A and B are shown apart, each in its own frame.
Chain A
């Protein structure tokens, strides 16, 4: 079945540091890939997405490129801010039984950015 593996945290960085959170996946079909962010006390929010190989998703300074050859979708940001402190989830969407698109999540990576 489908699975997502992302680097375990927690990750602690200083403000303006470079961020990379690794994510790899296994899927039987051609999935779409996502990064979600969960701020403390809030629900998941879609951060960025990519639907096919070599697509680059970007939002709020975060980027991730869909690499089919390495089955990866690593999240990067050049300069993190304190407000980026949150839990980040990598996920894939593959068409499940019937017409429903099911999301499979990684375990999440807690990022803490210190001033």
Chain B
């Protein structure tokens, strides 16, 4: 149980275009999902917290107009990178909160974005 999927697993796009990444909780409902960015040989950096039916909460320094997050249902959150530039190339990882007292997060496999 507690499986989280991401689609696509990798994507290459041209500079100036927009890319949408989907995060789905396959066998549980997730009121809260998180989006992280991971640079090579670096830690995961939390970008934003997404609550179903409400606006996402962005971490300091993350441009909300560039990284659009939508959490339209209890099993789906999307991250759209708008007007992508080469510096947006990274590994994007989502997680879904599974509930319970500890509110354990279950992670997706990640999406590799390359902007040319």
B109's partner among A43, A46, A89, A102 (CB-CB below 8 A) is: A43
Query: How many residues belonging to B are interface residues under a CB distance threshold of 8 Å?
Result: 24
Does A82 make an interface contact (CB < 8 A)?
no
> DSSP majority for the A interface?
strand
A42's partner among B42, B104, B109 (CB-CB below 8 A) is: B109
Are A108 and B46 neighbours in the complex by a CB distance under 8 Å? no
A43-B49 contact, Cβ under 8 Å, with A32-B102, A100-B32, A105-B43 = no
What's the minimum C-beta distance from A76 to chain B, rounded to whole angstroms? 21
Are A89 and B49 neighbours in the complex by a CB distance under 8 Å? no
What's the minimum C-beta distance from A4 to chain B, rounded to whole angstroms? 8
Mask of B80-103 contacts with A, CB within 8 angstroms, 1/0: 000000000000010101000011
A107-B42 contact, Cβ under 8 Å, with A49-B102, A101-B97 = yes
Query: How many residues belonging to A are interface residues under a CB distance threshold of 8 Å?
Result: 25
Count A/B pairs, Cβ under 8 Å: 56
- The docked-state distance in angstroms from the alpha carbon of A98 to that of B4 is 24
Are A43 and B32 neighbours in the complex by a CB distance under 8 Å? no
A97-B105 contact, Cβ under 8 Å, with A102-B46, A107-B43 = no
Does A86 make an interface contact (CB < 8 A)?
no
What's the minimum C-beta distance from A27 to chain B, rounded to whole angstroms? 15
Which residues on A sit within 8 Å (CB–CB) of B110?
Answer: 43
Which residues on B sit within 8 Å (CB–CB) of A96?
Answer: 49
Chain A positions near chain B (C-beta within 8 angstroms): 32, 36, 41-46, 49, 51, 89, 93, 96-98, 100-108, 110
Chain B positions near chain A (C-beta within 8 angstroms): 4, 6, 32, 34, 41-44, 46, 49, 51, 57, 93, 95, 97, 102-110
